[in-house]
Amino acid sequence: MTQQNNNPGTNKVWFITGSSRGFGRVWTEAALKRGDKVAATARQLTSIADLKEKYGEHVLTLELDVTNAGQVKTVVEQAHAHFGRLDIVLNNAGYSLVGTIEEANADEIRAMYETNVLGPVAVIQAALPLLRKQGGGHILGTSSNLGHVVLPVIGYYCSSKWAFEAIHESLAAEVEAFGIKVTIIEPGAYATEFGSPESLKFAAGLDIYQDFKTQFFNSLSEMERGDPNATSEAIFKVVDAENPPLRINLGSHNLPWTRTAYAERLASWEEWDQVSAAAQGNTK
């Protein structure tokens, strides 16, 4: 069995969705390696069975489909009862729908929102009564830099992250009085399994967009990707902080891109401000 790190500054209890791959897997193992305890969840229990072999009683592996609100409530309560508390609730499960705005159909969009938006909400709603009762906790949500900027072809995925951001920002104001903290994690491009078939669903394509999408995917393939294993220390700094941020970027490219996007928005709003102000009407 893996030797545990008994660092007295850790000893936190985590609840993590989407622990089987990507950031969820990286952060689950990193937390366990530093001596914390983790309730690790995945849609298929077999995908995280090896965690139990490696980390023994420090990990509780649970099967969870975040789109099943009843199962979410049961599993969150089971994890809390098992460890006696939950210090960190990390919503990480999600996937991307690939398709232009015209191509994706309503069922595909709805299914992605069930996982990316309503799933995290179910986890939050199940956890909040427990966190209030224990006197506090920290809710983390894995969003994306695409919660502030947008790319074509994955516009519906971007929209789910914009919704995710709004929900968590509102939540932070609502639960502050209960001693519950909220942080939105915003990774840039990383070399995770996010591009795997398990993390992507493709809408049926229309020929008219084929050349555009080919150029788009070529540009994505040239994008520099970070090392996901380098992100764990940033996450630990956030959860160990007395006053953690509402948002934190992961990666060096996010902030310049976001600065540019917001500068362009501000410039456009300023340019049209007289038209906007006139739309207020005569308020005297």
Q: Which whole-number Å values give the CA distances from 156 to 23, 106, 162, 190, in the listed order?
A: 21, 11, 10, 20
Annotation says 237 is catalytic: no
Which token pair is 197?
């078939």
Q: Which of 144, 161, 181, 190 is catalytic?
A: 161
Q: Max CA-CA distance within the chain?
A: 74
In angstroms, the CA 194 to CA 223 distance is 14
Instruction: Of 253, 27, 3, 206, give the one whose Cα is nearest residue 103.
Output: 206
CB within 8 Å of 203: residues ≥ 6 apart: 97, 98, 99, 100, 103, 104, 105, 108
Q: Which of 19, 20, 96, 143 is catalytic?
A: 143
Annotation says 181 is catalytic: no
Annotation says 143 is catalytic: yes
Characterise 35 by phi-psi region: left (phi > 0), alpha (psi -120 to 50), beta (else): left
Q: Which of 55, 95, 156, 157 is catalytic?
A: 157
Q: How many CA atoms does the CB half-sphere of 150 hold within 13 Å?
A: 13
Catalytic positions: 143, 157, 161
